[in-house]
Amino acid sequence: MRCGYSMSRYLAFDLGAESGRATLGTLEGQKLTLEELHRFPNTPVRVFSALFWDTLRLWQEIRDGLSVAGRERRIRLDGIGVDTWGVDFALVGQDGNLIENPRHYRDARTNGVMEAVLEVVPREEIFAHTGIQFMRINTLYQLYAMRRAGSRALAFARTLLMMPDLFNYWLTGVGKSEATIASTSQFYNPRLERWAVELFDQLLLPKTILPELVQPGTRVGPMQAEVAEACGLGTTPVYATGCHDTASAVAAVPASGDNWCYISSGTWSLMGVELDAPVIDARTLSLNLTNEIGVGGKTRLLKNIAGLWLVQECRRAWALAGKEYSYEELAAMAADAPTLSGILDPDAFLEPGEMPAKIAAHCRAMGQKPPDSVAATVRTILESLALRYREVLESLETLLGRRLEIIHIVGGGSRNRILNQLVSDATNRTVIAGPSEATTIGNVLVQAIGAGELTGLAEAREIVRQSVTLDTFTPKRTSDWEAAYEKFRSITGRG
């Protein structure tokens, strides 16, 4: 455990679905405090039919965040770490520069590609190598889409870097891939802790582009001299933190014991458990669960669920129609809306645009009356998410052979009190909500572990418990949810 009251400061860059942030984390004794230094938008850019990362602007925003810390605030940093969502990547050429701008996972180029891959390599074989759930957004299908299209970028690439790896490369000049983000690709082998090069051979993908792998908490290197001088920070170390944002978020779950599961709640909902080793067998495959690498040698056995992105897309559509609502207003409206008036499958909605209309069409197709108001639409989304969480909870308990008593909800969605209560009611479990800044907290604490300041996950989680206020929700109304759950299972075809 940390002793005394020494103080250290780490800068965490978290690139989320709507915005990116540079946050200063200060560790003093057994307490962590956060201060946001710089916030910036992070939205994809559409050119014709393609959807791209706004990569160079984001790099400038990272430099601006560093300059706030170094030039404006004159802070001496003990470390820097970058996290993003999974699956997206960049290709770097022989000259060390980007070959083309990285695509966003919601780009339509992967439509039908997963099915084409499965005609070459059976589903069971891919899962045996990777233990990853099948989603058309996975890096494997993005790469195969490029090969099928005869991509010159893929032909001339020297190195593939996942997005946080790319920013670490630009910060340090060292191009390596951190294991938690690599494991989202569906060509990482979690049992052998290496790339699943066999899949590249079978799919005629160039395995020479796969970089060296490092574990979360690894010191990638000092900041490049040019960046350090421009930002006024000196030779600050850069750490490969839990570079997958969910890995960092799960590292900050304030749990103890083994009777809990987590939901990292935000644009996506990632629901799972933390284990000592991957579970790769026929049962896991049939449940379409995924084994991703966690911090401290752990495996995150989880399910990716389409989360509050549905609300975000509805809010955007309403704003385009001239009706601006804050998330707090939408949550308050949903709290007063009729209960369980409509049910939908949250995972049926992947591509952006016209979300309220898509939800209405989905309800009609399922023989239900569409939501007739903004409040009813949001309520339908939140209740359907709660039902989906119950379904995934049952899958996890079936696989583990034991009951999970506590659901920890972390991330931005943990601030949605109506959703937290709906989850408790739908699952008949205790819900502990918080911290809302789990990803940033985890990013900072994994850097501190890498720096040798913390001993590991147990100490990091104790610091979380001492540093944040948590909210507890217990079931209030469960009788109405049984019929709703049966209807949900019928609608999704998983009953």
pLDDT in tens, 75-130: 999 999 999 999 999 999 999 999 999 999 999 999 999 999 999 999 999 999 99
Q: Answer yes or no: is 51 within a domain.
A: yes
How far apart are alpha carbons 317 and 493 in whole angstroms? 29
pLDDT in tens, 317-327: 999 999 999 99
Q: Is the confidence at residue 2, as pLDDT, over 70?
A: no
Is the pTM higher than 0.75? yes
Q: Is the confidence at residue 4, as pLDDT, over 60?
A: no
Residues 258 and 241 in one domain: no
- CATH code for position 181: 3.30.420.40
Residues 230 and 300 in one domain: no
**Structural domain range at position 228:** 7-245
Q: Answer yes or no: is 490 within a domain.
A: yes
Number of domains, the chain: 2
Q: Is the confidence at residue 405, as pLDDT, over 60?
A: yes
Q: Answer yes or no: is 144 within a domain.
A: yes
Mean pLDDT of the chain: 96
> Where does the pLDDT of residue 6 fall: very low under 50, low under 70, confident under 90, or very high at 90 and above?
confident
Which of 188, 218, 245 is the C-terminal boundary of a domain? 245
Q: Answer yes or no: is 87 within a domain.
A: yes
Residues 228 and 276 in one domain: no
Residues 59 and 136 in one domain: yes
> Could you say which of 88, 107, 245, 425 is catalytic?
245
pLDDT in tens, 346-365: 998 878 889 999 999 999 99
Which of 245, 278, 313 is the C-terminal boundary of a domain? 245
**Is 165 annotated as catalytic?**
no
pLDDT in tens, 270-316: 999 999 999 999 999 999 999 999 999 999 999 999 899 999 999 99
pLDDT in tens, 208-253: 999 999 999 999 999 999 999 999 998 899 999 999 999 999 999 9
Which of 212, 245, 278 is the C-terminal boundary of a domain? 245
Q: Is the confidence at residue 5, as pLDDT, over 70?
A: no
Q: Answer yes or no: is 449 within a domain.
A: no
Residues 299 and 203 in one domain: no
- Mean pLDDT value of segment 370-375: 96
Q: Answer yes or no: is 129 within a domain.
A: yes
- Mean pLDDT value of segment 25-49: 96
Residues 124 and 269 in one domain: no
Residues 201 and 270 in one domain: no
